[in-house]
Structure 1
Amino acid sequence: MTTFLAVVLTVLLTATALLALARLYRGPSLLDRVIAADMLLATMVGAVGAEAAINRHATTLPVLVVLSLLGFVGTVSLARFAVRDQP
């Protein structure tokens, strides 16, 4: 059961990452590209969290915290930049 769950999670997270990379490459505006980068970061957090849950260890918790804070700070700074940039 654990192997099947790992394969399903790997396929879903890979599909999500590929779709985010496609939007990052093709995005018509800067905001589309930033949202795609944020989605790619969220996918990475999900992948690291799934790996920690499947292997039942908590040593990757600092990595999850750093990735989550990086995503939060990036999103907030982009929102402040977008609000300041509008006429």
Structure 2
Amino acid sequence: MNGFVFSLVYAMLALALFMATIRLCKGPSLPDRVVALELISSIVVGVIGVHAIDTGVLSLLDVAIVVALIAFLAAIGFARFIERGGPRSD
């Protein structure tokens, strides 16, 4: 029963990752693509967390925290980029 639950969670996360990747590739504007990239990083954190619980290797949670912090810094960088008016042709 426990293996079935983990398989179901992995399948749902893989489907979410696939759909977010489609949005990243198609996504008509730059903010859409950045949001899709943020979603992908959140899904990766979820996959790492579920894998850590599934295998019992709790040190993987440190990896998930690092990935989440890097994704947060990327979001802050993009917000500052938008705040300053986007790309300039100086």
- Calculate percent identity across the aligned residue pairs: 31
The answer as to whether partners of 1:2 and 1:54 remain within 8 angstroms in 2 is no
Structure 1 unaligned regions, length at least 5 = none
Match of 1:23 in 2: 23
Cα distance in 2 for residues equivalent to 1:56 and 1:23: 33
Aligned to 1:48: 48
What is the one-letter code of the residue matched to 1:36? A
Give the structure with the higher percent helix. Answer: 1
Q: Who is 1:58 aligned against? A: 58
> How far 1:57 moved relative to its partner?
2.3
RMSD: 1.1
Indicate the structure (1 or 2) with the bigger Cα radius of gyration.
2
Total equivalences in the alignment: 86
TM-score by length of 2: 0.89
Does structure 1 residue 82 correspond to structure 2 residue 71? no
Alignment check: 8 A CA contact 1:24 1:33 kept: yes
Query: Secondary structure, in 3 states, of the residue corresponding to 2:57?
Result: coil
TM-score with structure 1 length normalisation?
0.92
C-alpha separation between the residues in 2 aligned to 1:28 and 1:49?
Answer: 31
Give the Cα–Cα distance (whole angstroms) in 2 for the partners of residues 61 and 52 of structure 1.
7
Q: After superposition, what is the alpha-carbon deviation per residue over 1:1-59, rounded to whole angstroms, capped at 9, x for unaligned?
A: 21111111111001100010000000001110111011001000000000111222212
Task: Note the residue ranges of structure 2 that are not aligned, 5 or more in a row.
Answer: none
Q: Spell out structure 1 runs of 4+ moving beyond 3 A.
A: none
